[in-house]
Amino acid sequence: MVAAAFAATVGIGVGIGVWASADDGRPARAARDDSAGAPRPAGATTDPPPGPTRSYPLSRAPRTIPAVRSHTPAHGPGWRPARGDRVVVADPALADEGRLIASELGLTYAGEKNDARPGDVRLALGGGRGANRESYTLTVRGGRVTITGPSDAGVFYGTRTLKQEVRGGGTAPEGVVRDEPAKPVRGLMLDIARKPFTAGWIEDRVRELGDLKFNELGLHFSDDQGFRIESSTHPEVVSANHLTKAQVRRIVALAASRHITVVPEIDSPGHLGAVLAAHPDLQLRSASGPAARGAVDISKGKAATVVDDLLKEYAGLFAPRAWHLGGDEYRPLTLSDPAATYPQLAAAARRKYGSGGTVADLTTGWLNDRARTVRAVGRTLRAWNDGFYRSSSVPPAKDLQVAYWTGKEIGARQPVEYLAAGRKVVNYNDEYLYYVLGQPQTFVYPTGQRIYEQWTPRVLRGSQAVPARYDGQILGGSLAVWCDLAGAQTQDQVAAGIRMPLRATIQKLWDPRRPGMTWAQFRGLADKVG
């Protein structure tokens, strides 16, 4: 019986257990796990099994979302929070993590302490050389909890596991959890340009993302329908309903406390309708006169000046990590002969790149120039896959990550083409990860079940996975909320609609292997742990 229990100590478990008394006389609960196991992360070691005990059965792995990747069982009561228990830290850099988990579990934050008391939760930095910086080890032993990781982010994720253990079953099971994400990019993107969301709603999503171990929040805040963040360089482009910079700073600070990077996006040279409403002289027009909706005329130097002004301004508002440049759906390049329809673009391309210069060259050059603007302030750069034009003789900047979302554009390329060229890719697959309000065109609301049962980070386009040899170039993925028909749902309906897709997405980004639970079990677990 003990051998069988030991063999099933990894993966997701079912939280039932035996009540007993801990060493200090307080009641505790040893959690159990009735699910199949999963292999531990590379490099992990197996602790020797504890000696036999008459008091407690062998513990079972905790039930969390995402599931922990490894749990070494032990005999013991586990740990459950009690009034008067302390959270202590071994390093002042972990004070924020310590205060947060103490407040969430009703414990006392005691700061830096070297003594050990029954019931303590201790947070510490530590880990082997080369360890995943987001990894952590959570040890429950002797009536105490110790969470260690090579960075404060890893320790934070350990506290999220502890929080879910307590919320779901009341007790953190005896033993050792060793855990780490499979992918370094785990995100949610919000289109706040077409539909303004309140600052409070966005902050609630930040808290939700943090508890689920996401680490990115994308804000697409400029489009044809609106420009939604206060601006000092170009106040004329800002929509009446917008976020103030003070509100954005609070969102960014809250996200940072949850180890989430807020990734801004000012899409260009298309999707700039809100900017063009204030600068109609920059509107792209065809030779016969009609305007190209949302598109700036990139043959005009002032267009670049306005966009660069905005990019530089917001660089100081967001954390210096990542930036999304957009680059998708520029109207001229949806035509079979853009030079004939927009001769001014063709002429500008020839002036810049010689007699063979094309509209695709000019557009790629625009993207590279914006990348140069943002690169100067130390950002990692990303652009939509349809901003990388096959017909261009001008190569996109080498450091541009590909945000792969679709294969429906003219001249669409399979994801393997980007990967074979050495590009790093973030998965936004519109077949599974696009939540488009009102379900226009062929879009349907994604379901958590489809993501959970069918999708992995290697499924970049449609439902087919790219070869495993490219897995290391796929940085991760992001669920995306697009508000094409903004009135189709309220913001509360959006929150409810993305609840299970978010949970399914993080499960597959944390561990892309086949989950150990059925969808019904996973959904039931989500109702328990949040």
Chain centre to alpha carbon of residue 353:
38
Tokens of 220: 């697409």
Mean pLDDT within 161-179:
96
Residue range 415-439, pLDDT digits in tens: 999 999 999 999 999 999 999 999 9
The conformation of residue 158, written as its DSSP 8-state character, comes to H
Label residue 158 exposed, middle or buried (CB < 10 Å: 0-12, 13-18, 19+). buried
Residue range 430-480, pLDDT digits in tens: 999 999 999 999 999 999 999 999 999 999 999 999 999 999 999 999 999
Active site residues: 329
What pLDDT, on the 0 to 100 scale, is given for residue 413?
86
Mean pLDDT within 155-179:
97
Is pLDDT above 80 for 257? yes
The conformation of residue 321, written as its DSSP 8-state character, comes to S
Contact 31, 56 (CB under 8 A): no
Residue range 194-247, pLDDT digits in tens: 999 999 999 999 999 999 999 999 999 999 999 999 999 999 999 999 999 999
Hey, which residues does 461 pair with through a beta bridge?
A: 464
Tokens of 515: 């989950």
Picking from 516, 518, 453, 530, the residue whose alpha carbon sits closest to that of residue 68 is 516
**One-letter amino acid identity for 372?**
R
Whole-prediction pTM: 0.89
More confident residue, 52 or 70: 70
Packed helices 359-375 and 343-353: angle between N→C axes, nearest 10 degrees: 70
Residue range 310-362, pLDDT digits in tens: 999 999 999 888 999 999 999 999 898 999 999 999 999 999 999 999 999 99
Confidence of residue 378 (pLDDT cuts 50, 70, 90): confident
The order of strands in the sheet holding 71-73 is: 71-73, 175-179, 136-141, 144-149, 121-125, 86-89, 108-112
